[in-house]
Amino acid sequence: MTDVKKYLLVAIPVPIREAFIYLPKHSLLDCTIGSRVSVPFGNRELTGVVIGHTEENSIDSSKLRAIHQVLDNQALLSADLLSLCRWTSDYYCHPIGEVIFSTLPPLLRTNTALPAERTWLLTTEGKGLPSSALARSPKQQEIVNYLLENAALDDETVTASTFSKSALQTLKEKGLIYRAEKKAVASKAVNQLLNETPLHLTGEQHAAIEKVRHHEFGTYLLHGITGSGKTEIYLQLVARALQSGCQALVLIPEIGLSPQTVTRFRKRFAVTIVEMHSEVSAAQRAKNWLAAKHGHAQIVIGTRLSIFSDLHKPGIIIVDEEHDSSYKQQDGFRYSARDCAIYRARQHNIPVILGSATPSFESLNNAATGRYHHLILKRRAGTTPPAEIEMVDLRGQALTSGLSEQSLSAIKAVTEKGGQALVFLNRKGFASSQMCHSCGWVSTCSHCSASMTVHSRPKRLHCHQCDRRQTLPTLCPNCGSNDIDVHGVGTEQLEDSLVNALPGVPVVRIDRDSTRNKSTLKSKLAMVETGESCVLIGTQMLAKGHHFPKLNLVVIVDADQGFLNPDFRALEKIGQLLIQVAGRAGREGAVGKVLVQSHRPDHPMLELLVRKGYFALAKALMQQRHNSALPPYWHCVLIRAESKRRENAEDLLKLFAHCYREHFAYSAETQLVGPLPSPMEKINDRFRFQLMIKSSERKQLKYVLEKLISAADQNSLSKRVRWSIDIDPAET
């Protein structure tokens, strides 16, 4: 008999906040929670995920439709993963269907059947085979020997090895081996886990590791200067988790320049490590995801999206460079992988390690209030002393493509001695704009409120906001004068200048333009790693995690970039960036020097950073945040709206502001800022506005949002304007 009293809650990838109610095809029992189903939706057929069974139904039963088909016999998403999705959907105010479907590997979002993971095992007879039994069939003997040592032989190993397929078949026919579903990997002895001997820990490293309690929830802020050996701590903590049969999840900010982290894990561990990031092919990503889910992989390393990996038995989560803003997704489902990591660790009752030389203020505050354990490493693990930082006052100086005489001669001196120098400039292209000296014309994009960047290879103007390109004018388009010039040095100009100034020295430019081709990036990095004398020119891309063993000098061309940024996090980010870039110098024995060029060398915050370090800067800036009721002390949400019609975007936010005032005007716990034009007011002909709501109480903020969302639901403007809610925004 069919059970019609109960309903299915199905999450579907559409921008509607609630899950949908469907009838089961036969019985509710066939529709396991967490499995995929195909459902009729309007006149389409969509794939959804069953997220619950329910008795309640507010919809007219005659309008309910039944699902078409159950796609998985067993849950694809575990109860834990579903609860993570539900929590993030609620916390970030994002529709549950979009949460689930944007975090699943693309192949698993469709109705394709899951590949069965099968493996070869020895039968009892095979296990008891006398050692000489197969002497005349060496190919069969080879396979049996492998299985005696490794217990299971995966199809992947067969493909990657010289094992004979026909020998496998013969052994099967003889009843010596059989096929079976792959099982989760069991715990291993420590000597089977490692490929290499771990380093002998320094006192600080040892003390930090001792504080981390396994099989118990705890958030640990591992706050250690660059080179203090945080990676070694990760490796040893992961080893401890693996020993007890658990898996480890390691998050890294960006894959492009972090292959070194993956390499170090692969070098250390003789276990299955899978990667999870956008550069992994779709087929492989689905495979890796399932390998993590079924426990076939012991270590998962990936970028922010890997926080949504289903794990068979997690034992530890590591978030490297926890301050990095790439952990926050900036569009669509705007989640913070770091914050989700803490939720997951609590869910599984395991430790989570947040590592950084320059922790976010949120984490520092949590450590200060005792919510996180603060593990501090003050000394470098190797013998290399930390790099020395020196300010270079640019005022009144003649500059060569943005470089002072002092910086240029320091670069020359280093390369003459066969060393390497990194020149850091966070501005790609040749120059930030073109300008007319006669009439003041500036190369601005006619579709954005941004200037068009001058590029020299190929020669053109390029808007980095909307991607429009234009030919580079030789005469002023406004007054016809030929007195036009460029303004604001970019990496291409710096490259030209350094090639001229340093004949014979290789100049390697690494920015998004020069490394669109992945193999170009790899070969450039490989060249730098050989230690050959050269000058590297790098943007933000290079500030992250990458180690250049032979780097003796770092020049930061423009430390003032960003002082004018209205974002309340601007100074925090400058501080992190300078320290991270400086951390690239002086590894492996070479004494490093960092030259910080600035027109405001006496800026109190810059001075504090250079003289006293990041922690001192953080403390001072955090005091300011406290006084201005900003994060990490107050919580904040940003509502953004954009529209081709300027007044539509602004009016929707005015509606929100009005609704806010109606309910919360006299609340001392909340504040409203805006609506204001966004820092980049127009992009691609769309006008952008934003409204910030702050509160000392998270609950209160949630309450405000509920009111605003229901106001939006009742106003048709909200359907005509693109708008979004950003909880804990990384950029404001």
Residues that bind ligand ADP (CB under 6 A): 199-202, 205, 224, 226-232, 381-382
466 binds Zn ion (CB under 5 A): yes
232, interface contact from Zn ion, ligand ADP, none, CB < 5-8 Å by kind: ligand ADP
Cα–Cα distances (Å) from 504 to 306, 514, 523, in that order, read 44, 21, 19
In terms of CB distance, is 229 or 488 closer to ligand ADP?
A: 229
438, interface contact from ligand ADP, Zn ion, none, CB < 5-8 Å by kind: Zn ion
Q: How far apart are the first and last CA of the chain?
A: 57
445 binds Zn ion (CB under 5 A): yes
Task: Determine contact, residues 572/618, Cβ cutoff 8 Å.
Answer: yes
Residue from 50, 280, 436, 494 that binds Zn ion (CB under 5 A)? 436
| Shortest Cβ 295–ligand ADP spacing (Å) | 28
439 binds Zn ion (CB under 5 A): yes
| Shortest Cβ 444–Zn ion spacing (Å) | 9
| Shortest Cβ 224–ligand ADP spacing (Å) | 5
The secondary element (H helix, E strand) that includes residue 469 is strand 469-470
CA–CA separation, 724 and 663 (whole Å):
21
| Shortest Cβ 683–Zn ion spacing (Å) | 7
463 binds Zn ion (CB under 5 A): yes
Task: Determine contact, residues 584/554, Cβ cutoff 8 Å.
Answer: yes
Q: Hey, CA dihedral for 96, 98, 99, 105, is it positive or negative?
A: positive
441 binds Zn ion (CB under 5 A): yes
Instruction: For the segment 138-167, give every residue that binds Zn ion (CB under 5 A).
Output: none
In terms of Cα–Cα distance, which of 444, 453, 465, 403 is closest to 597? 403
Q: Tell me which stretch binds Zn ion (CB under 5 A): 12-20, 332-340, 424-432, 434-442.
A: 434-442
CA–CA separation, 726 and 479 (whole Å):
44
681 binds Zn ion (CB under 5 A): no
CA neighbours within 13 Å on the CB side: how many for 77? Answer: 30
Task: Determine contact, residues 430/456, Cβ cutoff 8 Å.
Answer: yes
Question: Quick count: other Cβ atoms within 10 Å of Cβ 228?
Answer: 26
447 binds Zn ion (CB under 5 A): yes
| Shortest Cβ 549–ligand ADP spacing (Å) | 8
| Shortest Cβ 430–ligand ADP spacing (Å) | 34
382, interface contact from Zn ion, ligand ADP, none, CB < 5-8 Å by kind: ligand ADP
Lookup result for tokens 């409204």? 691
In terms of CB distance, is 52 or 382 closer to ligand ADP?
A: 382
SS3 for 192?
helix
552, interface contact from ligand ADP, Zn ion, none, CB < 5-8 Å by kind: none
523, interface contact from ligand ADP, Zn ion, none, CB < 5-8 Å by kind: none
227, interface contact from ligand ADP, Zn ion, none, CB < 5-8 Å by kind: ligand ADP
In terms of CB distance, is 427 or 544 closer to ligand ADP?
A: 544
CA–CA separation, 91 and 94 (whole Å):
8
The secondary element (H helix, E strand) that includes residue 659 is helix 646-664
463, interface contact from Zn ion, ligand ADP, none, CB < 5-8 Å by kind: Zn ion
Task: Determine contact, residues 551/226, Cβ cutoff 8 Å.
Answer: no
Number of residues that bind Zn ion (CB under 5 A): 14
476 binds Zn ion (CB under 5 A): yes
Q: Which residues contact 479 (CB under 8 A, 6 or more apart)?
A: 436, 438, 439, 441
CA–CA separation, 613 and 389 (whole Å):
10
282 binds Zn ion (CB under 5 A): no
The secondary element (H helix, E strand) that includes residue 593 is strand 593-598
The residues that touch Zn ion, with contacts defined as CB under 5 A, are 436, 438-439, 441, 445, 447-448, 463, 465-466, 476, 478-479, 481
